[in-house]
Structure 1
């Protein structure tokens, strides 16, 4: 049995090594689960974020690396059980010159420019907090958005707080800085946005098998150890385990 999984260049979740092999936290989780359900051949297809959902929906590959679950996306693809929960954050220039610590802080700074990958949930989160479309600059690839932060073309790039931490630690704080969003000050504990693998709606057998293994594997010592190699901690794993995996 062969399964092809699509991924994008977005460390620590997925990236391509110098020798052409795919790696990353999401790739490792998929590989582990697929082997456990008896998949003998796993192939990886590098794509762009905007092609993930249309590609799996059209059957160009069998599954996607995890992305945030939304009702709109669930209308076109079938999601697995969630595999991580992660809040948003920004990448900014060193020292965070405009003191940007949340989407609201960008809305309150009309000359601030925010970079977002087209189609990602950060766009809706930003506009819901009052960020205007004029303040948002859309990019196709993460590398282009990061280059725009470095050049000063934009003031912040919005992505996952975890991914931004990994990028900043790799590049060095003298070049770029990761800023975690300030928590909502209403005193309520909230579940962070959840991410899950996605499948063609007709591929029920593969989805069922993957879900069955995920439910028993998520939160296990082996799962936590494998994810820790890529920087994912209990903070990202516990929300999906506590919510039933």
Structure 2
């Protein structure tokens, strides 16, 4: 059996290595699970974020790397059980000169500019907090957004707290730091899951069965730790999985 999984350039979840091979936390998790259900050939297809859902719907590939689950997205694709639970954060210049610690802090400063990948959930989160359209700069992918941040075109880049933390620790980003957001009083943190064409019932069932068995195991935790994902991100997904499945 051959499976094609689409991914985007978004370390530590997925990226293209120097040998042009796909790598990252989500890539490794997918590979482990797919091999366990008998997939003999795995093809990794690099795409852009805005093509992930259309690509699955149109049958251009079989599976997407995890992305945040929303009711709107669930109308278009079928999601697996949750695989991580991660809050938002900012990547910004060291010292955080404009004191941008939340979306509300951005909204309170008319001179603040926030970079977001087009179509990602951070856009709605920012808008809900009062950030104006003129304060938001949309980008096609993470590399473009980070280049703009380094160049001073934006003051902060909004993404996952984990991803930003790993990026800030990179030697290439010595002038940048990460700030995690407070997720609010309800304690809920967004969950991420693999996605599939809704008609691909056998693959969804097989992947879910193996994920339920594997998530939270010692092997899973050790693999994810190498990419900066901790017990917090893993256990949050398992709790959500227990409540729903």
* Residues 48-87 of structure 1: pairs in structure 2 closer than 5 A: 48-87=48-87
* Residues 40-55 of structure 1: pairs in structure 2 closer than 5 A: 40-55=40-55
Separation in 2 of the partners of 1:190 and 1:136?
Answer: 26
The two structures have a TM-score, normalised by structure 1, of 0.96
Hey, what does 1:190 align to over in structure 2? 187
Separation in 2 of the partners of 1:58 and 1:171?
Answer: 39
Hey, what does 1:11 align to over in structure 2? 11
Gaps of 5+ in 1: none
Tell me whether 1:148 sits opposite 2:145 in the alignment. no
Measured on the aligned residues, the alpha-carbon RMSD in Å equals 1.1
Separation in 1 of the partners of 2:76 and 2:173?
Answer: 40
Hey, what does 2:131 align to over in structure 1? 131
Hey, what does 1:228 align to over in structure 2? 225
Tell me whether 1:242 sits opposite 2:239 in the alignment. yes
Moved more, 165-174 or 73-82: 165-174
Deviation at 1:173, TM superposition (A): 6.1
Contact 1:88 1:181 in 2 (8 A): yes
Task: Detail structure 1 runs of 4+ shifted over 6 Å in the superposition.
Answer: none
- Number of aligned residue pairs: 242
Separation in 2 of the partners of 1:137 and 1:107?
Answer: 14
Contact 1:66 1:197 in 2 (8 A): yes
Q: Secondary structure in 2 aligned to 1:73? A: helix
Q: 1:137 to 1:179 in 2, by over 3 A?
A: same
Hey, what does 1:203 align to over in structure 2? 200
The two structures have a TM-score, normalised by structure 2, of 0.96
Hey, what does 1:171 align to over in structure 2? 171
Contact 1:26 1:65 in 2 (8 A): yes
Separation in 1 of the partners of 2:94 and 2:27?
Answer: 31
Q: Secondary structure in 1 aligned to 2:137? A: strand
Deviation at 1:242, TM superposition (A): 1.9
Q: Secondary structure in 2 aligned to 1:104? A: helix
Deviation at 1:175, TM superposition (A): 1.3
Contact 1:50 1:118 in 2 (8 A): yes
Deviation at 1:189, TM superposition (A): 4.7
Deviation at 1:172, TM superposition (A): 5.8
Deviation at 1:240, TM superposition (A): 1.3
Separation in 1 of the partners of 2:18 and 2:172?
Answer: 21
Hey, what does 2:210 align to over in structure 1? 213
